[in-house]
Structure 1
Amino acid sequence: MVQPSVSVKEQIILAAERHFAERGLGGASLRQISAAAGNGNNTAVQYHFGSKEGLVQAIFEYRLRALNERRCALVAERRPDDLRSWVECHVVPVLEQGEREGSHYLSFVAKLQQHGRRDVLERLGPELLAPTRLFRERVGALLADVPEPLRGHRIAHAMAFSVQAGAEREQSRARDEPVLPFAVHLGDLVDGLVGFLRAPVSEVTVSALETTGPLGLALPVHP
């Protein structure tokens, strides 16, 4: 039930987040989203956001500001200088979002990952992506022994996995299914991510890399 105090634009954003999370971008129409937002005007979405792509961008802008503020606060508080601390500062706000009542954000991002929609990030302002760029730089510097492009590949997929794990938990909570206590879930996930990032590069992988031409990596969505 949409709260009366929520603006029309916010009602539409929240309804779109849920519909895109459940049905994907192709399975949710602007008409359905408008109706779910409690708006009888079928052109309300187009009036406020222009298109489905504009609405997707608005969802990211709506969520990322708060996520980035939390990330920056954690970095300022903890002053991370090792791999685990940096992973925690970046992942904790994402997983916290999934704990909020009625949240569908992680499931929404997971859907975009499934369909490889990196183009949606290219339209976001650089200030919204700044914390993610800083995270990539700092973690990359701590993984100097992992050669490129494997280093960037690992970082991207570690963060994509954190979204997928958070989305599964978000969906389980929505279905009232049992889940691990949050602190246990967080600690175990960070353990796994750090282990994946730190894993030595095997001779088999090095050999495969040496015999492969220039790579055009399609990295997953994880703002």
Structure 2
Amino acid sequence: MSEQRGHPIALSPKQQLVLTAERLYALHGLDGVPLRHIGVAAGMANKSAVQYHFGSKENLIQAILINRIDGLTHRRELLEARLSDGNLRQILEAHHLPLIELAEDEDCYYLPFLELLLRESHPMDDLTERHRESKRSYYAQLDLLLDHIPQPLRDMRMHQASAVCVHISADRHRMRMHGVTVAPYVLHVSQLLDLLVSILTTRPSEETLAALESSPREAPVFRELP
């Protein structure tokens, strides 16, 4: 159960199934957990509880994403309201900090779950319109500040920076869960933001520019990232 002002709040059966599935998938993989096991682990008497509430494994995975996306988007909107115009590091912090923070929550398995979806190329292009609008705004702000980076390198870097943030944050969550000593939180966040700034702003080498010049003109397609 979660808590609010010191009082426990009972989760609905659907919420309990979503959080249980997030944890089991993160620990055992998408193909390592039968749906009935999720129901049993969530304390459901009905062995077909997942099918009853979600209909299918794909719908359950989508529910796990949506369960976190709304909270992440809301937190991003609050941080974005305090941005200074043209400050790249602050823009990156407002967008990525809500995800980075999840590594500090021992009861949240969203980061390793999300990393798993990325590794298995699971589609994530059916998320909420509020989330998609937040992403469009984020990319538009970066575009204005990275005009010294030629396309399609700019889009590649934006996508790679987001992927790096997910993987580093998921790795920190794993290390903490296994009792491994990690860098202090403030240092971790500051260094990670420095890294993301570097990924985005470093001028491309002559070798990369030559490779870009000889590459097909068709722009690569990048997958959606929460």
TM bracket (short chain): over 0.9
- Of 3, 9, 15, 2:14 maps to 9
The CA distance in 1 between the partners of 2:38 and 2:85, in whole Å, is: 41
Structure 1 spans left out of the alignment, 5+ residues: none
- Of 100, 111, 117, 1:112 maps to 117
Q: Displacement, 1:215?
A: 4.4
Cα RMSD over matched residues?
1.9
**Within 5 A, what are the aligned runs for 1:95-134?**
95-117=100-122, 119=123, 121-134=124-137
Distance 1:19 1:220, change over 3 A: farther
Q: Displacement, 1:128?
A: 2.4
Please give the per-residue CA displacement for 1:37-76, whole angstroms capped at 9, x wherever unaligned.
1113121111111111111111111111111111100011
- Of 46, 61, 66, 1:61 maps to 66
**Within 5 A, what are the aligned runs for 1:144-223?**
144-215=147-218, 217=220, 219=222, 222-223=225-226
Between Structure 1 and Structure 2, the one with more helix by share is 1
The CA distance in 2 between the partners of 1:217 and 1:16, in whole Å, is: 33
Higher RCO, Cα 8 Å, sep 6+: 1
The CA distance in 2 between the partners of 1:79 and 1:71, in whole Å, is: 14
Scaled by the length of structure 1, the TM-score of the pair is: 0.92
Scaled by the length of structure 2, the TM-score of the pair is: 0.91
Distance 1:100 1:57, change over 3 A: same
Structure 2 spans left out of the alignment, 5+ residues: 3-7
Q: Displacement, 1:217?
A: 3.0
Distance 1:55 1:80, change over 3 A: farther
CA contact (8 A) 2:103 2:172 kept: yes
The CA distance in 1 between the partners of 2:41 and 2:221, in whole Å, is: 33
Corresponding residue for residue 29 of structure 1: 34
Q: Does 1:18 align with 2:23?
A: yes
The CA distance in 1 between the partners of 2:153 and 2:53, in whole Å, is: 41
Q: Displacement, 1:221?
A: 5.0
> How many matched pairs?
221
CA contact (8 A) 2:125 2:224 kept: no
3-state SS of paired residue (2:162): helix
The CA distance in 1 between the partners of 2:188 and 2:170, in whole Å, is: 13
% identical equivalent positions:
37
